[in-house]
Structure formats: structure tokens, C-alpha cells
Structure 1
């Protein structure tokens, strides 16, 4: 389980280190930095897929994603005695992302490209580190990258060896230096990061992928756009927790049940003479079914991140959704970003979530109610 998320100089997250629990609820007003935190987690996952640099370019390039304020905000600036202004930098320009958990920790440090770089929107990777346990230290470090040089510590002898001395500044050691022998821990962490799941684009409009006809086939993981909803629900019933599936549908829509129809999704609702297909379901009903398929996956990931899943849902669906999240958190760690007062209240009643409330001051996102875990960034 991840216990710490650290972000430095990414959008409004100038220096944020927060704790993560089994089910972490991220709240805050609009513009407080919730989406930036979600994107930071997604960028870490993109590192394991080899897409980090391209994703940052798609966000507008390295400079547009950097913290736009001064390197430090002094007390006199906060008191209004002097204007907000920059000054001589004491550290190099950097955007850093990292996490730590029970087993491993990882951090990556991105910097400005050189003037002759033909791709000015792309940052370069200045440093990376991977270590065992929650704290980075000389003894826990087992993989290190500084500029183009990557060193791995051999698991049997503890001796360091050079794995690569000319790694491209656009490539991560996570994707290019994982070795089944000397770099087994690096390989293991890469595969675990690749298994993280993100759901923030579960569309319910008339042209949504989930409304298209779908056949029942083995589908233990719901697609990120929900296109295989019918197959995912059928797979839960066949090899997953069918009882919880039925109980969740009953709690959300009393008197309703999903039908085993090989032709696709069919929901029998109380009072109707025939079941409804995906094109006939309301936006809220369809979205709830999408969340059910994601959270009751027969192949739960180590980490699932949901961004504002309550969209289109009636307040009456928040208690069943909170119970579903609590149930799913027994098998997978969940980070939930939400500003729904009804869902937040329902989750608080379950007593199973750790809440991280974000607020913004002087353009900077902070978590004032959280005690920041100890964190050390790797050296360049």
C-alpha cells in the first residue's frame, strides 16, 4: 500500500507531501488543486508506461506545468508587507514526483531541456531513485539515476553496478533498466505501477461508449472509458462477487436486478414490463453501473484512482456508493477525488476513509489538516 505521495513544483503543488490510507478522500473547493493531485498520480503511472514526457507535452509543455509563483513565499509576502516577487534562485528548476509505501518508494526529478533540444516542450529527466520501505536512505536505495548514468545494486551481494551510462534524457530507468536478475525490484515496481487504474472519463452522454451494444466475454477489468461495461458486469457475476453485485444494485435501485443476457446489458426495474438496455438508462443509472463494474473488478489493482465519480448521481445514491467504496477498499487501495457534500458525508459515516482537505493560498495548494510524512527527494 502507498503511504505517501509527494509532488514539487507541478502546477499549484509547489511542495506537497500527503499521507495516503487504504481509502483516501481528497476534498477541497473548486480550484484548490484536486485535479492537479489526480494528474500527478497519473503522471507517475505514465512513467511506468514510458509516456511521461509525451503526457507533459500534451498538457502544454514543461514550462506551462511548472509552479508559476516564486521559489519561496516569505512571511513578509504573506503578510502583504512586500509584493509577491521572484528573486535569485537557490535551486535548479525542477518538477518532482514521488511516492512511498510499505514495500517500495520511487521519485523522479525533471528539469529544463538544453537550448539546442529540438523539442522545447519536453522536459529532461535529471534524476530518479527507487528504494525499499517508506524512507529514502543510503541503505534502502537500490536503483539510482543521475542524468544519463543508472546504477543498480545487485540483490545477492549488495554491490553496485552500472546498468547504463548513456540513458536518453527522455527515457526512464523504470522502463529501460528493469532487469530480472540485478534489477528485479525495479522490474517488480514497474509492473505494479502499470497495474494502477484511473477512472475519470466515464461518459454517460448519448454517444458514450458504454451505451453501444456489447457482447458478454471474459472482461475482468473495466476499460477506462467504460466501453465494455456489459462484459465487465457479466464477468463479475461469473467469477467475481455476484452476491455483492446484486446487493449493491438492490441498495441503489430497489426492486431492480441485472439480467444474464448474452446480447448485452439489461436492467430489470421495478414496475416495468421489460428490461432496459444501455441506450435507455438515465445518466445517473449508467454511471452507477460503471462504478460498480470498476470497483467490483475480479482482478483488483493495487491502486485505483477515481476523479469526481459522483457526477450525474442523485444524492440518494451516495450511501450505496460509499458502501461500495468501503467494500472495494478491502482488496485495493483507493484514492477518491470529490467535492460532493453528500458523498463526503456518507464516507465519513462509514469511518473507513482518510480525508485530505486541500486549500489554496497565494496560488499554492496545501493540506492544512494533514501531518506531512517525512520525505527526502533524491539528489541530482
Structure 2
């Protein structure tokens, strides 16, 4: 289980270190940095499958995602003053878990100034460590620019350099030589993120789809019919039926197959025929998509939901909260939400839940109610 997440230099997350629990509920007013925290978590996960650099480039490169305020924030109530940057441009991301931790430092590209890939950030430093903090004695893997060394009793150098645009999590494939990188790669590639479950008129979830066994619904919900049928055949069919009945009393889901093409259907009391996914309201389809994601027969180690309440009537929040609470036991769950009602329901349902409120002070995102001694220990390594 992840115990700490740390972000430095990403948008309003100047230097945020936050604790994580089995269920962590992140909430706050608009513009306090909730979406930035979600994107930062996705960037960390993207380092394991080589998608992080491309994601940053799509956001405009480091220039557009870096903290836009002064290098050293002045503090609450003090106007920002322009300063000359003295430290290198740096976007730092990291986490600690029960066993292994990870930290990465991304900076501006070097090399040929005429290159058209100058917006691609470079990895300046990467470390894998044991325990809560990346201190020298806890380091297991230490990467500086292209050079990687591994500790197994004593330090040894990898014979092959690592490209500056690729993480050791994706580039170092030798599980025997670097078992820690292989372990983290497998875990992080299994993390799931849901923030774009589409319910618009052209949403793939509304269309019939070729059905194959699907253990995890796609991020946009395109394979929901196959995912529902997988739950019905080998997953938590009873829990799915209970969730649908709680949200829409007397209703149930089924999947119709025609030559291997699946169509999702909702049976409701009083209707002579089931409604296909194309006929469902946006809120109804969104709840079905969320239920399918949360009841996966192959639950992930980490599940992150960004504003799951969007488009749902307030009456559906208790059913959604119950689904999320049940998902906590096989998975660690992070919920980022605008809804105070959903946050209260979740914290009330799960005894060990952490509730984090984000606030913005002088443009910087901070944890409300957390003092210096309340945040987890963390140490950013120097390049």
C-alpha cells in the first residue's frame, strides 16, 4: 500500500507531501489543485509504461506545467515578487509504500538546441529506496542522467546506459539484476485511473461492441458490456445486482449477444422491454460504468477516481459510496471529489479512511489543517 505521495514544481503543487491510507478522500474548492494532484499521480504511473514524457509534452512541455509563481513562495498574505531563478528547472514526483519507494526528477532537455524535441523533458535523477524516505542508506537503485547503479550488498554499475527520456522502470528489463525496478513496474502498470468515463451521445459505451472476456473496463467505458458480462459470469454478480437495485430499485443489468457483438441492457420495472445502453440517461449510464469499474474481478493494487460524482443525482451518492467502500478491501482507493456529501459518506463508511482538504494560499496548494509535524517525512534528493 502507498503511504505517501509527494509532488514538487507541478502547477500549484509547489511542494506537496500527503499521507495516503486504504481509502484517501481528497476534496476542496474549485481551483485548489485537486485535478493537478490527479494528473501528477497519472504522470507517476506513466513512468512505468513510457507514457509520462508524451503526457507532459501534450500539456505543453515543462514550461507550461511548472509552478508559475516565485521560486520561493513568500507565504500567506504576501504578494508574489518576481525573482531570478537560481535553482535548475525541476519537476519532482515520488511515493513511498510499505516496502519500496520511488522518486524522479525531470528537467529541461539538453543537447542540440535546434532539435524539434526540445519540449520533451529529460529524467535527471531516479531512485528506488526502501522505507519511507529516499536517504542514502536506504537507496537500492540510483540513476543520475544516463548512469544507473544498483545496490546488492555493494554498489555495481549497469553496463548499459539508460536514455534520458526513458525511466528505469520501463527501460531496465533484467528482473534478476534490478528486481526492485521490475517489481515496481509490474505494480504501477496495474494501477487504474478513471476520469473520462464517457456518457455523451457518441460514447463508445452506448454502441454494441465485439465482446471478449474483460477483467477491467476501459478508461472511457467502451467495453462496458463485456466487462459486465465478465462480472456476471466470474465476478461479483450478487454485488453488482445489489448496487443496481440500490441505485435504481427493481432494476437489473443483462447483456445480449448477437454473433459475438454485445449490447448492454437495463431492465426496469413497468417497462415491456429492456433499455439498451444507447437509451440510458447520462447519469444512469455513468453509474453503471462506475459500478463495473469498482467491481472488477481482477481488482488493481491502486484505484484512483477523479470526480466520480459528476453527472450523478445526489440520491445516487449513497449507492456510489457503498461501492467505493467495498472496493477498498481488495484495492487501495484514492477519490478526488468536489462533493462534500460523497466525502462525508466515504469517511463515515471506512474506519481507516483519510480525509484531505486542499486549499490554495498565495497560489500554492496546501493541506488544510496540516502543520510541519503533521505531514509524512520526505526528502528530495539533490541532482
Aligned-residue Cα RMSD (Å) equals 1.6
Match of 2:378 among 372, 375, 380: 375
Q: Judge conservation of contact 2:77–2:362 (CA < 8 Å) in 1.
A: no
Aligned to 2:163: 168
* Aligned-pair CA distance for 1:313: 0.6
**SS state of the match for residue 267, structure 1?**
strand
Q: Judge conservation of contact 2:214–2:226 (CA < 8 Å) in 1.
A: yes
**SS state of the match for residue 276, structure 2?**
coil
| Cα distance in 2 between the residues matched to 1:29 and 1:141 | 38
Structure 2 residue runs of 5 or longer lacking an equivalent are none
| Cα distance in 2 between the residues matched to 1:211 and 1:123 | 38
Deviations 1:33-82 (A, max 9, x none): 0000000000001110112211111101111111111111235xx444xx
Aligned to 1:109: 105
Match of 1:120 among 118, 121, 127: 118
Aligned to 2:265: 266
Q: How many residues in Structure 1 have an aligned counterpart in Structure 2?
A: 373
Q: Judge conservation of contact 2:2–2:95 (CA < 8 Å) in 1.
A: yes
Q: Judge conservation of contact 1:178–1:184 (CA < 8 Å) in 2.
A: no
| Cα distance in 1 between the residues matched to 2:254 and 2:162 | 53
| Cα distance in 1 between the residues matched to 2:255 and 2:279 | 17
Deviations 1:3-31 (A, max 9, x none): 10000000000000001111111101111
Aligned to 2:131: 133
TM-score where L is the length of structure 2: 0.93
| Cα distance in 1 between the residues matched to 2:343 and 2:55 | 31
| Cα distance in 2 between the residues matched to 1:348 and 1:180 | 39
| Cα distance in 2 between the residues matched to 1:88 and 1:164 | 40
TM-score where L is the length of structure 1: 0.94
Structure 1 residue runs of 5 or longer lacking an equivalent are none
| Cα distance in 1 between the residues matched to 2:159 and 2:61 | 27
* Aligned-pair CA distance for 1:180: 1.6
Aligned to 1:29: 29
**SS state of the match for residue 256, structure 2?**
coil
Deviations 1:207-239 (A, max 9, x none): 001001035431111111111101101101111
Aligned to 1:318: 317
* Aligned-pair CA distance for 1:90: 4.8
Q: How does 1:223-372 map to 2 (within 5 A)?
A: 223-262=218-257, 263-352=262-351, 353-370=353-370, 371-372=374-375
Q: Structure 2 vs 1, CA of residues 215 and 165 (structure 1 numbering), >3 Å: closer, same or farther?
A: closer
